[in-house]
Structure 1
Amino acid sequence: MTDELHVDWDPRSDPVQSNQIAAYDEMRSRCPVAYSRYRNWTVFRHEDVVRILDDHHTFSNRVSAHLSVPNGMDPPEHTPFRAINDKYFTADRMSAFAPECREVARQLVAGSADGQIEVMSALAEPFANHIQCRFMGWPERLHEPLQQWTHKNRAATRALDREAMSAIAVEFDSYIREQLDERRTVEAGAPTDVTSELLSERVDGRPLSDTELVSLIRNWTVGELSTIASCVGILVSFLAAHPEIQHRLRTEPDLIGPASDEILRMHAPLVANRRRTTREVTVAGRRIPAGERVMVLWASANRDETIFGNPDEFRLDRDPADNLLYGRGIHNCPGAPLARLELTIFLEELLAATDSVEPVTGTEPAYAAYPAGGFEAVPAVAVSRSSRPPNRSGGAED
């Protein structure tokens, strides 16, 4: 019985929280499949994670008693819902949304990219919030409630406060239902946006239920609010600490997309996802019974030395298929095209508006606590092009 299993590690312990990435690197070599005090198994190695992602029959995505569309489903139920999901992230849709995305990024950067800033609160969190509302067609009046909700959700999740987490989930669902109801009320006059379009979707010949619609939208939106903010913080922190790479992206902006993927491989914005075993299975020599919870640790697998060599070496010649940033298999991240678009445009606008982004002398970014990835705070100095003093010849500095 799992009650009798030896506990290998505590992902919420102080030593792990002080530097999650370093702790995962150490566990990967010492105990590649570890049983935790929270009664689940964590898988650290790239090879084992890939095996799990490629075998949805043995490692099911049905990990919760609550409906989760489509990522908490397995085939055949998963298939038609995933098909609906994927319609909203096509190349044509991304091209159409790009100008709006750029407008949001440019406005935020213009208001913050001059002088010392705290990146998470000034740029990362507002960008994730505003861009998701813009994509869904939601009004600006939701910006502040969603920001407050994100902070409450983060605090409750870290504290493992089940009662608070439940209440916070109900609160978020109320925002979604409000948007659905508003569009039903105006009927023919409803705005043409993603939320309105979803109301007309059908699966197996029937309309989606409100429960299914809310679940689908929740999975899109909650993931965006937290993960995109985390991505922005990681990217800005890395570029501030690596001026030579920052300079390269300023001179070769076509590299911003692949560079973002590589930076986020090194420091994961999303720490882990869950699976559940459907039968007894052995992974890296550890016997895992049927019905057990398994944590797929992206933050470790994407730094596996057997695949990437020195995991902290920034390289743009790696095989993109090895990078598990957006998952793999039938449950790979459906919103990856949108995330890549958002992050690329954000960095384009940040680099275009500044001469440099630098660390704040004497300070370090504050790491986020499990289960969140990235940073709590990223102090930086952004030097705006418009504020750069003239050089002796009277022109702008190079």
Structure 2
Amino acid sequence: MTTPPTRPADWDPRSPAVLDDQIAAYDAMRQRCPVAWSEYLWWSLFRHADVMRVLHDPATFSNAASNHLSIPNAMDPPEHTPYRRLINRYFTPERMAEFEPVCQRVATSLVRTLPRATPFELMEALAHPFAVRGQCAFMGWPDRLHAPLREWIGRNHAATHAGDRAAMARIALDFDGYITEQLVLRRDAGADAPQDVTTRLLGERVHDRAITDEEIVSIVRNWTVGELGTMAASVGILVHYLAEHPTLAARLRSHPAELSDAINEILRIHAPLIANRRITTCPVHVGERQIDAGERLTILWAAANRDEAVFRDPDRFDPERNREHNLLYGAGLHVCPGAPLARLELCVLTRALLDATQVIELVPGQRPERAHFPASGFERLVVRIV
């Protein structure tokens, strides 16, 4: 990736005013400057229509925006196609049905440990543990990885927020080491290896050859790193919203079939994943701005999914009306392959929490602390349940 061109900035994505309330800041930018330049994010797109254009034109807006092997996130067709076909097999309805009882046990056990009638910090007590334990259970990884992975999330977030590329590289290698260790253990076990997702990956083939360890590490890194952060953010956002809307929480307790649509709509209103990247392959106009070839674009999901031109009142909870245009899991060739897993996990956990409670409420005097870019949701969220 080349260094960004020098030109006047339209905004500062890292300014205190933006970081204090990212969603509100993006709403304002969508009105003021919907295609905006900054040295930090290059071109940022805030409108739903512009984002949809990018998502459905990979020839012009390439996913190959990473300096590292990233399968399949940083690939375009035709290279992308066989890897995406391989990955889709892990998220079929049959695979989700197999995992559902495992996920239910993880969710139920965590909800049972939560304090009753006394305030507690939700991110530490539920959101991060559920993200780590759920992903480890899906991959077939041992419980002993729960603690190091939770510690890894904190270090990765701190380095990313600080923009410390050297630290980010070291931390990425640490994570790759966890994956590689699991591959070695399964190879050494031979026929006695557990028949889990990680073992199945060792037997995959692509382009008429065995998939390499480097490719497996890249695939699992994309699954797990993204899953840990966005899942924890999603849990915090959902609990915060239900605490602020007790009538909705009561309805979902008695109408659990509505959970999936409700969760998608809440996460449209407050996105758990802020942005993704693309890079232009040729000069192109977006909005009224000229963008040269080789320039980076930042797709701001947190803005596009609140565009008044599509959703009218972006804060209005209207899952039926907004379902078709919701970009929670993206769209086009790179729509999130792990969406079925995320939907399952969020539905299972939310139902477990609602079934186990009569009241979920925020605690007066304990102001939620918002997460800062590139994270979303909450750093700290104190709640009380009864």
Match of 2:85 among 80, 83, 86: 83
Structure 1: how far apart are the matches of 2:331 and 2:362?
Answer: 34
Q: How do 1:7-86 and structure 2 match up within 5 A?
A: 7-38=9-40, 40-86=42-88
Greater Cα shift, 294-303 or 319-328 = 319-328
SS in 1 for 2:272: coil
Q: What's 1:135 paired with?
A: 138
SS in 2 for 1:211: helix
Q: Could you tell me whether the CA contact under 8 Å between 2:13 and 2:41 is conserved in 1?
A: no
Q: How do 1:115-194 and structure 2 match up within 5 A?
A: 115-194=118-197
Q: What's 1:345 paired with?
A: 348
Amino acid at match of 2:375: A
SS in 2 for 1:3: coil
Structure 2: state its 5+ residue gaps.
none
Q: Could you tell me whether the CA contact under 8 Å between 2:21 and 2:370 is conserved in 1?
A: yes
After TM superposition, give the deviation of residue 248 of structure 1 in Å. Answer: 1.0
Amino acid at match of 2:120: I
Deviations 1:112-144 (A, max 9, x none): 152312111100000000000000000000000
Q: TM-score, normalised by structure 2?
A: 0.98
Stretches of 4+ moved more than 4 A in 1?
none
Deviations 1:358-389 (A, max 9, x none): 11012221110111111111111011xxxxxx
Amino acid at match of 1:47: A
After TM superposition, give the deviation of residue 10 of structure 1 in Å. Answer: 1.1
Structure 1: how far apart are the matches of 2:47 and 2:82?
Answer: 32
SS in 1 for 2:320: coil
Q: What's 1:264 paired with?
A: 267
Larger Rg: 1
Structure 1: how far apart are the matches of 2:310 and 2:197?
Answer: 39
Structure 2: how far apart are the matches of 1:354 and 1:116?
Answer: 14
Greater Cα shift, 175-184 or 113-122 = 113-122
Q: Could you tell me whether the CA contact under 8 Å between 2:4 and 2:42 is conserved in 1?
A: no
Q: Could you tell me whether the CA contact under 8 Å between 1:271 and 1:373 is conserved in 2?
A: yes
Match of 1:205 among 205, 208, 212: 208
Q: TM-score, normalised by structure 1?
A: 0.95
Deviations 1:133-169 (A, max 9, x none): 0000000000000000000000000000011000000
Q: What's 1:335 paired with?
A: 338
Deviations 1:77-125 (A, max 9, x none): 0000000110000001101100000000000000015231211110000
Q: Could you tell me whether the CA contact under 8 Å between 1:278 and 1:290 is conserved in 2?
A: yes
Structure 1: state its 5+ residue gaps.
384-398
Q: How do 1:195-274 and structure 2 match up within 5 A?
A: 195-274=198-277
Amino acid at match of 1:116: P
Structure 2: how far apart are the matches of 1:121 and 1:55?
Answer: 40
Q: How many residues align?
A: 383
SS in 2 for 1:158: helix
Q: What's 1:389 paired with?
A: none
Structure 1: how far apart are the matches of 2:217 and 2:200?
Answer: 14
SS in 2 for 1:258: helix
Structure 2: how far apart are the matches of 1:144 and 1:166?
Answer: 21
After TM superposition, give the deviation of residue 253 of structure 1 in Å. Answer: 1.0
Q: 1:9 to 1:309 in 2, by over 3 A?
A: same
Structure 2: how far apart are the matches of 1:182 and 1:282?
Answer: 51
After TM superposition, give the deviation of residue 38 of structure 1 in Å. Answer: 1.7
Q: 1:39 to 1:298 in 2, by over 3 A?
A: closer
Q: Could you tell me whether the CA contact under 8 Å between 1:368 and 1:376 is conserved in 2?
A: yes
Percent identity reads 55
SS in 2 for 1:312: coil
Deviations 1:214-249 (A, max 9, x none): 000000010111110000000000000111111111
